[in-house]
Amino acid sequence: MKRLLGIILSIVGIGTSIFAQQREVGLEEVILMAQQQSFKALIAEKEWENSQWAFHSFKANLRPQLALNGVFPDYTSAYTQVTQPDGKISWEPVRIMNSSMQLALSQPLSFTGGTITLSSALNRFDDIQDKNYSYNTAPMVLGWNQPFFQYNPLKWDKKIEPLRLEEAKKKYSETLERVAVEVNRLYFQALQAQIAKEMAAKNQENNEKLLLIAQTRFNLGKSSKSDLMQLELAVVNAQKQSAQASLRQREAIRQLKSYLNDKGTEDFRLKLPEDIPFMKVDAQIALEKAEVNRKEFLSFRRQMLEAEDEVAQAKGNTGFSANLETRLGYNNQANGLSEAYKNPIDQQAVRLSFNFPIMDWGRAKARRQTALAKRAMVAYDVEQQQLDFQQGVLTQVDQFKVLVQQFGYTQKADELANQRYNIAMEQFSMGRLTITDFIIALNEKDRARVDYIAAISDFWEAYYTIRFLTLYDFMAQRDIVYLTAN
């Protein structure tokens, strides 16, 4: 007796230990885990970080640039031809060294495409052969380089890059909402497998109890051998289904944990989210929120601007162009460094260059027409994408409404099928129902339960899909934003 009691306590202890290793989690908790630690969420975070650095790089291009550059040494030792007064060539040995250094502060002008530069330069020339050296200085020089009738990349970057950053910001929110949709699907796959396992185990338990009753009735001559064998077959099938359901449940949990990037050994016990929020989803509001919140509509604007950019580039790089270079400042030269900075003289320089294509066999026109044709193609494609996206939102809203309407019917069918099964089991135990009718009631109960779980799964998938398509929470009536600052 003591040994039997010890075995029972050991079994209970093992069961308690197994149960303790299972952590019960709900749908919202699993979605939050996925949005915080899944690989997709981590990659999305790095993509957003890269977008921020790219925008920072663009902003830095608009700010003044300070650079120090120089050459030291530039040494030459060789025979060099030297023209003599009588016109003859004489090869003379030379040993010279040049050194230079320049500090320049430049500011690009995004509205004109030009550049203003303020610089200071120092140069030294050493004639090592004759032991002579001299300095050339430019203490301060103000320069302006201005192209005319040419493509200005900074002008277009100022239009496109802010859109690109805002698009990346919305993409981050969309990615986390897509994670919610995907992990919701995996959650219900695992939950359905878990419930199927529990149903199979319960059916096996009930069928084994009914088999004992059927064997007693058969021994008393109140049941046929066929009914007994049919119930034995039901028990065998229930055992097989229970084993298969256990395997599917373990595999589904592994897939869920893999997506969550959960490396722990603790198993999950999933909760059924039956608290359905029957909120109203207005199609017009859904469209308006999608146009404001989704990155696609920013992407449409960016694609059109990029097409316009290519047109401007094709026109600016193929027609008449000119470039103005001016310098104004001071310079001097002397044999000593200090003397080279004393009493500098004025320095002025103006240079205007131009390029006027006369004959290019239609190359410039072809490039412009290609850019114009591509712009038209982008416009058509953007319009098609916009219509497709709007239709996708409206279709999802309609599906959501239908699911809400059908959910009540599925829930009622589950309740009725479960009640009928309980009555059938009681009647069969009392010998008032055939085994065939009981198995029919059992199958209908299982099918109704599966349909009910599927209806809950479909609802939540539709709910999170609408959130993803609109970045709007219709339950809380607020926009979904995961990033509040750039």
Question: Tens digit of pLDDT for each residue in 166-224?
Answer: 999 999 999 999 999 999 999 999 999 998 888 888 877 877 777 777 677 677 666 66
CA separation (Å) from 360 to 357, 365, 366, 378, 382? 7, 9, 10, 28, 34
Segment 106-130 mean pLDDT: 91
Please give the residue that has the higher pLDDT: either 16 or 304.
Answer: 304
Please give the residue that has the higher pLDDT: either 229 or 146.
Answer: 146
d(CA 438, CA 483): 57
pLDDT of residue 5 exceeding 70: no
Work out the mean pLDDT of the chain and round it to a whole number: 86
Please give the residue that has the higher pLDDT: either 233 or 390.
Answer: 390
What local confidence, expressed as pLDDT, does residue 15 receive? 40
The region of weakest confidence among 5-9, 67-71, 259-263, 341-345 is 5-9
What pLDDT, in 10s, does the model give residues 429-465?
777 777 778 778 888 888 898 899 999 999 999 999 9
Backbone angles phi, psi at 317, to 5 degrees: -100, 5
Residues 6+ apart with CB under 8 A from 62: 108, 110, 154, 158
Segment 242-246 mean pLDDT: 84
- For residue 71, name the pLDDT band (cuts at 50, 70, 90): very high
Please give the residue that has the higher pLDDT: either 338 or 16.
Answer: 338
Cβ atoms of residues 77 and 45 within 8 Å: no
What local confidence, expressed as pLDDT, does residue 221 receive? 65
Q: How far apart are the first and last CA of the chain?
A: 72
What local confidence, expressed as pLDDT, does residue 20 receive? 40
Segment 454-481 mean pLDDT: 92
pLDDT of residue 418 exceeding 50: yes
What local confidence, expressed as pLDDT, does residue 459 receive? 92
pLDDT of residue 11 exceeding 60: no
Which residue carries 């203490």 as its tokens? 139
Residues 6+ apart with CB under 8 A from 99: 70, 71, 72, 73, 74, 123, 124, 126
CA separation (Å) from 78 to 94, 113, 126, 467? 6, 44, 15, 76
**Of the candidates 462, 174, 378, 379, the residue with the CA atom closest to the CA atom of residue 296:** 174
Cβ atoms of residues 480 and 200 within 8 Å: no
d(CA 391, CA 385): 10
What local confidence, expressed as pLDDT, does residue 270 receive? 92
d(CA 136, CA 337): 9
What local confidence, expressed as pLDDT, does residue 222 receive? 63
**pTM strictly above 0.85:** no
d(CA 124, CA 196): 88
Determine the 3-state secondary structure of 358 from DSSP.
coil
- For residue 1, name the pLDDT band (cuts at 50, 70, 90): very low
- For residue 305, name the pLDDT band (cuts at 50, 70, 90): very high
- For residue 406, name the pLDDT band (cuts at 50, 70, 90): confident
d(CA 397, CA 267): 36
Percent of the chain residues topping a pLDDT of 90: 51
pLDDT of residue 346 exceeding 80: yes
d(CA 446, CA 234): 14
Measure the CA angle with vertex 366, ends 363 and 370; round to 5°: 145
What local confidence, expressed as pLDDT, does residue 389 receive? 92
What local confidence, expressed as pLDDT, does residue 339 receive? 87
- For residue 102, name the pLDDT band (cuts at 50, 70, 90): very high
- For residue 485, name the pLDDT band (cuts at 50, 70, 90): low
Residues 6+ apart with CB under 8 A from 480: 173, 177, 293, 467, 471, 472, 473
Segment 377-400 mean pLDDT: 92
pLDDT of residue 8 exceeding 50: no
Cβ atoms of residues 349 and 327 within 8 Å: yes
- 25-58+156-302+374-479 domain in CATH 1.20.1600.10? yes
d(CA 462, CA 475): 13
Determine the 3-state secondary structure of 350 from DSSP.
strand
Report helix angle 27-37 to 153-219, nearest 10. Answer: 140
What local confidence, expressed as pLDDT, does residue 484 receive? 62
- For residue 4, name the pLDDT band (cuts at 50, 70, 90): very low
d(CA 17, CA 250): 18
DSSP letter (8 states) at residue 108: E
